[in-house]
Amino acid sequence: MGADFTVSVNKSLDIRNEISRITKGNGVDVVLDTVGLESTLNLAGTLLNKNGAIVMVGLFGKEITIPLFQTVIKEYQLYGPLWGNFNELREVVDLAKTGKVKHRIQKFRLSEVNDAIELLHGGNITGRAVIIP
């Protein structure tokens, strides 16, 4: 279980060409959409191979239109965030503690918050930025 590769989107990267290059034009199996905008959902659908999946991790807070035609043609699945029950959460936390689930976190002191914001704006943080008081 795991990813063969990950691509972090930034302003200078042509994501469609990069995915096409890496997958030799086949598209990806799964896209994790951590933003939840209509534009990111539409982009995710163009990056998938047939029978792929989009996992909507982030939700922007307003209704979006699902590209039904694209969904039917590519036969992909769309999953929303569901945490499950307490036992499943405990199992995920245990996996993280044992190192079986890798996370990408960059920690910043409160005094470095401006640096963190600048890195975020520049697309230079992979994963999550966490401010430590």
**7-39, pLDDT tens digit by residue?**
877 666 788 999 999 999 999 999 988 888 888
Give the pLDDT confidence score for residue 70 in this predicted structure. 86
Which domains does the chain possess? Answer: 1-83 (3.40.50.720), 99-133 (no CATH)
pTM of the model: 0.59
Whether residue 1 has pLDDT greater than 50:
no
The Cα 71–Cα 80 span in angstroms is 15
Q: Where are the alpha helices (DSSP H) in 12-65?
A: 15-23, 38-47
Q: How far is CA 98 from CA 84, 86, 87, 101, in A?
A: 21, 19, 17, 8
**49-92, pLDDT tens digit by residue?**
999 999 888 776 778 888 888 888 889 998 887 666 778 878 88
The Cα 79–Cα 39 span in angstroms is 17
Give the pLDDT confidence score for residue 51 in this predicted structure. 92
The Cα 127–Cα 106 span in angstroms is 7
Contacts of 132 (CB under 8 A, 6+ apart): 107, 108, 109, 110
Q: How far is CA 108 from CA 3, 5, 15, 59, 113, in A?
A: 27, 26, 28, 25, 7
